[in-house]
Chain A
Amino acid sequence: MSSIEIIVFLPLLAAIVAGLGQRLIGAVAAKTLTTGALFISCILSWPIFLGFVSGDIQPYVMPVAQWVQSGGLSFNWELRVDSLTAVMLVVITTVSALVHLYSWGYMEEDPDQPRFFAYLSLFTFAMLMLVTANNLVQMFFGWEGVGLASYLLIGFWYKKPSANAAAIKAFVVNRVGDLGFMLGIFGIFLVFQTVSIPDILAAAPEQTGSSIGFLGLRLDTMSILCILLFIGAMGKSAQLGLHTWLPDAMEGPTPVSALIHAATMVTAGVFMVCRMSPLFEASQYALNVVIIVGATTAIFAATVGLVQNDIKRVIAYSTCSQLGYMFFAAGVGAYSAAMFHLFTHAFFKALLFLGAGSVIHAMHHEQDMRYYGALRKHIPITFWTMIAGTLAITGVGIVGLGGFAGFHSKDAIIEAAYAASNAANFGGYAFFIGVFAALLTSFYSWRLIFLTFFGKARWIGSEHIQHSVHKTPKQAGKDTTGGYHPHESPWTMLLPLALLTVGAVFSGYIFKNAFIYAEEGGTAFWAASTLYFNVDLIHAMHEVPLWVKLSSTVAMLTGLLVAYMMYIRSDDAPQKLAATFRPLYNFFYNKWYFDELYDLIFVKPAFWFGRILWKGGDEGTIDRFGPNGSAALIAFGSRMAVRLQSGYVYSYALVMLLGLVALISWMMVAAR
């Protein structure tokens, strides 16, 4: 067994044993087994990543087993290890191991823990299969596998109707994207006669400039293939149009949100675009689609995040928005910057989610920030780790010196968008949106912190707190805490927070050379992968004017200032502002009405058509003029049948048999 095989298959083994054998081995053993397996995977992953950073390891492909061979189409189970895989390996196994540990505390009172841990490990396995894929079909296996795990984990509390609805929505909306991905694979096989990723990328230049038929149209081959693949990425990474499942996915337990819906699964789309980047580089058209979708998602999700009250939903929209950043970075050709942001984002976003989980844990499962406030003294460790996460996501740092993780990665994206902009692409659009969304990011992130940790305690408004202290707001009177005492979380939850804080603070500064500095390591690092590393763009990025470099910092400070003025200095500014801009506020608050729209044009008509086709089509038309029409002729016969019951059936069968014999005899005579 090589280390990569252990990394990938140990979580699967742990999931099977913990899931199927939970009664045999007990809950504690199941939890220990899965958590232990993930820590082993994590410990084995870091040397691979660091080996690529230092240049000690060469990329390789480890064959595992044959899968499918049909005519010219063949694909096998293989594990591909290159620097792009290595980045994902450390992200997945690290966050997953910490989330497993965190869940010991967070899920402590749940009666169904082995199942939860088995699902988490199963997810990790599927995600690892996705990132180690050497062919598109194995990637699709992982792709759908993480979708299954996500479905199971969103619906983990399966007694809740809202959780079930969210789980189905996530699976079905993802399948819309998967349809695009699948068609993309078919098209790629048609064009390249292979689904092996390195072979496709090697052959891509030859097919550049060709055209292909699709749905009766004649289209640029590379553009249509890339766009089909990108539709898959949009589904998995919750980009505008296919994003509606992500906020609802917050119905799942918070550790799930941190692992799947922030750090790993939702970044699979970005990973896929980077993995296939030489293909995307063959079509400006496809890249423009990526830029526009990414940038628009970044601004859309940020505007919605401004006004949400549920702490997890704010972070969910923030995730959606940050994924938009990664996509437009890829779209402008700065794939390495996209991967860098994916890497840093995994740490600080997992940190923010787990921090939010710690807050929710402390506040007796209340998730509405309107009932938080003044928590910084009660849960100081959670507070300080979340401050670190917020500093990281808002990109705090000093130009020229360094800063928190997001400072390095997000600024790189904004600079790349500026540097890459020209008449043919939408880099300029992406740049302005990137800066403006940074302002909004800063605002909603600090709004979250201020509402949660600062100001007055507003706890008694929460029904969860009322249940806990057995008081109504009236009985509590002036004491808006209701006498509730939030407690800091146990060490199993705080340790992951602390470790992720280290990542949120330092991961940008430490790894920036490998990711986005050409001469300092980037060229060598990315040469050991399929990622297209554009050295010219990287140079141009570092030479943008000073105002560009400062723009995101200015945006960040503005957002912080506005949030401070609104939520610390003033009591009623948010309400006043909402009242003044009521239509806009409602538009944002209702998430641009996407859910309502989809319900109206897809969900309701599907059921409506189903009933029409069933009653009107099958029963009203086909049966009426088909079998029932002739049935009327022997209505008498069927009435008899009911009376005679099975005797009639027998005689009918006898007639059939005799008929058959007669036909055969006739045939033989005729044939002679």
Chain B
Amino acid sequence: MNAADFPILTTLIVIPAVAAIMCLFLRADGARLIALIATLFNLILGVWLWASYDPSYGQWQFQESVMLFGPVGWKLGIDGISLMLIMLSLFLMPICIGASWRAITDRVGEYMAAFLFMESLMIGVFAAQDLLLFYIFFEAGLIPMYLIIGIWGGKDRIYAAYKFFLYTLLGSVLMLIAMLWMIQQAGTADIPTLLNHDFPPEAQTWLWLAFFASFAVKMPMWPVHTWLPDAHVQAPTAGSVILAGVLLKMGGYGFLRFSLPMFPEASAQLIYLVFVLSMVAVVYTSLVALVQKDMKKLIAYSSVAHMAIVTVGLFAFNQQGIEGAIIVMLSHGLVSGALFLCVGVIYDRLHTREIDRYGGLSINMPKYALFFMLFTMASVGLPGTSGFVGEFLALAGTYQVSTWATLICATGIILGAGYMLYLYRRVAFGEQKNEDAAAMPDLNRRELWLLAPIAAVVLWMGVYPESFLRPIRADVSKIVERIDRAAPDGDSALLADDPAMKGYRVQRAEHGDKEGSAH
């Protein structure tokens, strides 16, 4: 049976919402079970969706459209890019529920409800085809996350939740104004129509900047990234997983869905703003990550550096750059999610995230050490893991536009290796200097079931990324086609037969003389 004959996107949104309402009225065990069943069932539906998706033509598939009041329509539909990000959300959700199974004991029903609502809203963001519907999903997604940090977070949760809220709100107000102007100007809120609408270039710049304000915070890009480390540190493990795994991807998705195809001229014009901020981000946050003492903070800063690779790739204006950026988004969603789970595993045992309190975990937790090593290597972009495919393609694309941006962003592979291996060494290698850390038991079966699926997908994406590239290929080429008219000239243009380069040719010795002297 094909999923197209069925309002599957609405179903994917409704199931978690219904389950969320049920959770609110259930006791802890019931809520956990309902949440797990709902998210797993949604994942199965997602697999069906992926299997029914036809990658040969891309946008738009599984479209649904019901006009609500006024100009707002319940319009859903996906292309390959949305599909992949929806799959990422659906895949991480049951893992988040599993990660919270024992760690959350307080107000479990409400906690599960917050996560389930968030799942609905995330799918809504990636599936919305109406500008205002998108905005509602995009903004409403903040609320459950805000609650998760603010209620189930750590010691300084209020400050972190407040910072998270302040940053994200500020950006989105500007975006809302821009959206209203666009609806006025184009006369429609329909995203597929807007994608082919040419806004006047002078207006594009302002619109682009308004969207940028919102997406740059969500990415997050330097210098509006400081909410992220605090939010991660305070959030419960599953909150961090979903924050790093999916919420950060909304910024990249926004650039891809709105900024690039709707404002190609402005994107080309402001390309160096994006490049410079990304270059600063890679070096800056990598160095900051190097000196962190808190595990979660370190991984949070590394996220900012990785997201900078996404932004340069997206603005490379070519197939490799954009496809690479999408793969980095998917890969980072999995890998940083897994790294936060790894932190969660030992946090649950020792209740501290301080790196120095651990050490020598390879001795008493060999299985844990193995998974942690795999995700560390994926994070530093070792070939054969998902991280490499994305980074390589994104940077290969960027190189065609700016060699400087490529060089500076590629230093991330050196610095990244530095801070991640330094972290790994302090946590898993060395002597067991802390008795309580040395007494921690290895992964239990539940934790194994959380980490093993992610590990499998990370390797799958590294060795055979075609499964993930095929669905997005047609849609990325549509975007590239659309923005091609504004594509900037690279700084590495090839000039054939340049007469200035004569002196570089190989000159062989006159063997005659030498032979003469030999006899």
Question: Chain A: residues with CB nearer than 8 A to chain B?
Answer: 65-73, 137, 140-141, 144-145, 148, 151, 155, 158-159, 161, 164, 167-168, 171-172, 175-176, 178-179, 182-183, 185-187, 189-191, 207-216, 218, 220-223, 281-285, 287, 333, 419-425, 427, 536-537, 539-540, 543-545, 606-607, 609-611, 613-614, 617-619, 622-623, 626-627, 630-631, 638, 641-642, 646, 648-650, 652-653, 656-657, 660, 663-664, 667-668, 670-672
Considering only CB atoms, which chain A residue lies closest to B149 in the complex? A649
Complex Cα distance, B404 from A435, in Å, reads 42
A545 CA to B519 CA, complexed, in Å: 8
Q: B33-41, B194-202, B282-290: which one contacts chain A?
A: B282-290
> In the assembled complex, how far is the CB of residue B336 from the closest CB belonging to chain A, in whole angstroms?
19
Contact status of A208 and B505, CB under 8 A, knowing A70-B319, A161-B430 = yes
Which of A144, A190, A668 is within 8 Å of B400, CB to CB? A190
Q: Does the CB pair A183–B410 fall under 8 Å? A: yes
Contact (Cβ within 8 A) B404 A422: no
Contacts of A211 in B (CB 8 A): 494-495, 498, 500-501
Does B146 count as interface, using CB distance less than 8 angstroms? Answer: yes
**Chain A CB within 8 A of B270 CB:** no
Q: Pick the residue among B403, B464, B480 that contacts A214 (CB under 8 A).
A: B403
Partner of B320, one of A73, A187, A208, A222: A73
Asked if residues A420 and B158 are in contact (CB atoms below 8 Å), the reply is no
Query: How many angstroms from the CA of A626 to the CA of B170 in the assembled complex?
Result: 11
Question: In whole angstroms, what is the CA distance A159 to B433 when docked?
Answer: 11
Given contacts A183-B407, A210-B496, A656-B165, contact A622 B223 (CB under 8 A): yes
B431 & A646 in contact (Cβ 8 Å cutoff): no
B291 close to chain A: CB less than 8 A? yes
Q: Do residues B421 and A168 form an inter-chain contact, with CB atoms below 8 A?
A: yes
Establish whether residues A284 and B507, one from each chain, have CB atoms under 8 Å apart when the complex forms. Answer: yes
Cβ-defined contact, A638 with B507, below 8 A? no
- If A175-B413, A653-B147 touch, does A213 touch B518 (CB 8 Å cutoff)? no
A187 / chain B contacts, CB cutoff of 8 Å? 399, 492
Other-chain residue from B406, B506, B514 in contact with A186 (beta carbon distance below 8 A): B406
Q: Which of B97-105, B252-260, B337-345, B381-389 contacts A (4 or more CB under 8 A)?
A: B381-389
Tell me which of B87-95, B134-142, B240-248 binds A.
Answer: B134-142
Contact A664-B493, Cβ < 8 Å, known A140-B383, A186-B406, A618-B288: no
Kindly state whether residue B166 has any CB partner on chain A within 8 Å: yes
- B227 at the A interface (CB under 8 A): yes
Q: Are B226 and A618 in contact (CB under 8 A)?
A: yes
Judging by beta carbons under 8 Å apart, are A72 and B319 in contact?
A: yes
Question: Is B429's CB within 8 Å of the partner chain A?
Answer: yes
Residues of A within 8 A of B500 (CB): 211, 218
Would you call B515 an interface residue if the criterion is a C-beta within 8 Å of the partner chain's C-beta atoms? Answer: yes
For chain B, the count of residues having a C-beta within 8 Å of the partner chain is 111
With A164-B429, A543-B515, A611-B291 already in contact, the answer to whether A176 and B490 are too (CB < 8 A) is: no
A312 CA to B382 CA, complexed, in Å: 29
Chain A residue contacts of B53, Cβ below 8 A? none
**Most chain A CB within a 10 A radius of its CB, from B291, B377, B466:** B291
Task: Using known A-B contacts A158-B429, A164-B429, A657-B143, determine if residue A672 contacts B71 with beta carbons closer than 8 Å.
Answer: yes
Q: How far is the CB of A276 from chain B (nearest CB, A)?
A: 14
Once A66-B464, A179-B411 are accepted as A-B contacts, the answer to whether A672 and B70 lie under 8 Å apart by CB is yes
Query: In the complex the two chains form, is A627's CB within 8 Å of B431's CB?
Result: no
| Given A158-B430, A182-B413, A606-B290, residue A210 in contact with residue B494 (CB < 8 A) | yes
B435 contacts the other chain (CB 8 A)? no
Chain A neighbourhood of B413, CB < 8 A = 175, 178-179, 182
Asked if A158 and B362 sit within 8 Å, CB to CB, the answer is: yes
Determine whether the beta carbon of B403 is less than 8 Å from that of A656: no
Closest to A152 in B: B373
Min CB gap B285→A, angstroms: 8
Q: Could you say which residues of chain B place their CB within 8 Å of the CB of A614?
A: 288, 291-292
Partner of A182 from the list B360, B410, B469 (CB cut-off 8 Å) is B410
Alpha-carbon gap, A155 to B421, bound state (A): 11
Residues of A within 8 A of B69 (CB): 668
5 new A-B contacts, CB < 8 A, other than A216-B404, A668-B71, are A137-B392, A185-B396, A212-B492, A613-B288, A663-B176
Of A155, A209, A656, A671, the contact of B501 (CB 8 Å cutoff): A209
Q: How far is the CA of A670 from the CA of B132 in the complex (A)?
A: 13
Is there an interface contact between A220 and B501, defined as CB atoms closer than 8 Å? yes
Which single member of B393, B464, B491 contacts A65 (CB below 8 Å)? Answer: B464
Task: Return the chain B residue nearest A163 by Cβ.
Answer: B429
Shortest 7 CB-CB distances between A and B: which pairs?
A71-B319, A211-B498, A649-B150, A186-B399, A610-B291, A141-B383, A668-B70
CB distance from B234 to the nearest CB of A (A): 12
Residue of B nearest to A642 (CB): B158
Q: Is the CB of B469 within 8 A of A670?
A: no
B318 within 8 A of A: yes
Bound together, the chains give a CA A636 to CA B388 distance in angstroms of 48
CA A216 to CA B491, docked complex, whole Å: 7
Q: Contacts A168-B425, A215-B407 given: A539-B511 contact, CB under 8 Å?
A: yes
What 0/1 pattern do residues 167 to 189 of B give for CB contact below 8 A with A?
A: 10100000010001001100001
In contact, B508 and A210 (Cβ under 8 angstroms):
no
A65-B464, A210-B497, A642-B158 known; A422+B399 contact, CB < 8 A: no
Mask: chain B, 199-226; 1 = CB below 8 Å from A; 0 = not:
0000000000000000000000001101
**Nearest A residue to B500, CB-CB:** A211
Rounded to whole angstroms, the CA-CA distance of A73 and B321 in the bound complex is: 11
Q: How far is it, in angstroms, between the C-alpha of A618 and the C-alpha of B161 when the chains are bound?
A: 17
The chain B residue with its CB closest to the CB of A534 is B508
Whole-angstrom CA separation of A164 from B473 in the bound complex: 42
Interface membership of B509, Cβ < 8 A: yes
Looking at A168, A623, A631, the one whose CB has the most chain B CB atoms below 10 A away is A168
- From A137, A183, A333, A646, give the contact of B150 (CB < 8 A): A646
With a CB–CB cut-off of 8 A, which chain B residues contact A627?
A: 162-163, 166-167, 226-227
* Inter-chain contact A144/B382, CB cutoff 8 Å: yes
Q: B323: CB under 8 A from chain A?
A: yes
Knowing A68-B466, A213-B490 touch, does A176 contact B71 (C-beta < 8 A)?
no
Please tell me which one of the listed residues A151, A209, A648, A671 contacts residue B70 in the complex, with CB atoms under 8 A apart: A671
The answer to whether the Cβ of B422 comes within 8 Å of any Cβ in the partner chain is: yes
Q: Name the residue among A70, A175, A281, A660 with the largest chain B CB count within 10 angstroms.
A: A70
Given contacts A176-B414, A540-B515, contact A159 B360 (CB under 8 A): yes
> Which residues of B358-415 have CB atoms within 8 Å of chain A's CB atoms?
360, 362-363, 377, 382-384, 388-389, 392-393, 395-396, 399-400, 403-404, 406-407, 410-411, 413-415
Q: Which of B450-486 contact A (CB under 8 A)?
A: 463-466, 469, 473, 477, 480
A residues less than 8 Å from B158 (CB atoms) = 638, 641-642, 648-649
User: Bound complex: CA of A638 vs CA of B403, how far in Å?
Assistant: 47
Chain A residues, CB < 8 A from B226: 618-619, 622-623, 626-627
Q: Once the chains bind, are A424 and B72 in contact (CB under 8 Å)?
A: no
Known contacts A606-B418, A671-B71, A671-B180; A190 and B492 CB within 8 A of each other: yes
Minimum CB–CB distance from A264 to chain B (whole Å) comes to 18
B151 CB within 8 Å of chain A: yes
C-alpha gap A410/B139 in the complex (Å): 70
Give the CA-CA distance A609 to B286 in the complex, in Å.
10
* B140 and A70 within 8 A (CB): no
A297 smallest CB distance to B (angstroms): 21
- Collect the chain B residues with CB atoms within 8 Å of residue A155's CB: 425, 429
Q: Cβ of B517 < 8 Å from any Cβ of A?
A: yes
Contact B323 A209 (CB under 8 A): no
A661 to chain B, nearest CB (A): 9
B430 near A159: Cβ-Cβ < 8 Å: yes
12 pairs from A and B in contact (CB 8 Å cutoff): A145-B383, A175-B414, A183-B399, A183-B407, A185-B396, A212-B493, A282-B506, A421-B509, A544-B518, A652-B165, A668-B70, A668-B72
Whether A652 contacts B146 by the Cβ 8 Å rule is yes
For window 435-457 of B, CB contacts with A under 8 Å fall at none
B324 CB–A CB distance under 8 Å: yes
A480 vs B440: C-alpha distance when bound (angstroms) = 48
